[in-house]
Amino acid sequence: MRLWIALVAVCSLLAPPGPQAQPTVPAEPFHDGLRGTTPLDEEAKPPLIYPTENKDVIRGRAYAQQPPTIPHKIDGYQVDKNANRCLSCHARSRAAESGAVPIGVTHYADRAGTTLGTLAPRRYFCTQCHVPQADTKPLVSNTFTDIEDIRVAPGPKASPARRN
């Protein structure tokens, strides 16, 4: 019996293949989100880098708890373990004289919620959360509505309870 199974297996490997389906070429060229339709053996043209806004106008927020965006250019600002240029204007001790928005009090609390006398280390690198803006078209649509803008329609009045 084993001999027959081995013989059938060998014969199936040696048998000529049946009609093969031809590979189909898609009507549209391959499209990659980053490369577009540029072939892999060619260099893709990089997208334009839009200029950073420098209007010093505070933007509205796109969703609840969004960190405020940076309304001015920060090109060349040093923000590393040795220095933080943002603090020269936004530190609470400097904000009044510079006219900048002071750093929020939440930035002076550690993970345990203990208020510190200085900026919390986890809040030191501003650009982890706060980003400058460019006047561009949004990549995706946004239907966020702030809680203050939601108007709740009054419901039907409750009927008085019946007494039996």
Contacts of 126 (CB under 8 A, 6+ apart): 79, 84, 86
Number of domains in the chain: 1
Q: Return the structure tokens found at 161.
A: 């309870």
Interval 102-119: pLDDT, tens:
999 999 999 999 999 899
Q: What percent of the chain has pLDDT over 90?
A: 35
pLDDT at 156 over 70: no
29 located within any domain: no
**Where residue 89 sits, what CATH number does that domain have?**
1.10.1130.10
pLDDT at 86 over 90: yes
156 located within any domain: no
94 located within any domain: yes
Q: Return the structure tokens found at 65.
A: 């708890």
Q: If you write DSSP's letter for every residue of 14-74 in order, what string do you get?
A: HSPP-PPPPPPPPSSPP-BTTTBT--TTSPPPPPP-PPBP----PPPPSSTTPPPPB-S--
Domain span at residue 105? 51-136
Residue scoring higher pLDDT (161 or 35): 35
Interval 35-74: pLDDT, tens:
778 888 888 888 778 888 888 888 888 888 889 999 999 9
143 located within any domain: no
- Name the band, by pLDDT with cuts 50, 70 and 90, for residue 135: confident
Q: Which of 22-31, 73-82, 140-149 has the lowest mean pLDDT?
A: 22-31
30 located within any domain: no
77 located within any domain: yes
At 91 the pLDDT is: 92
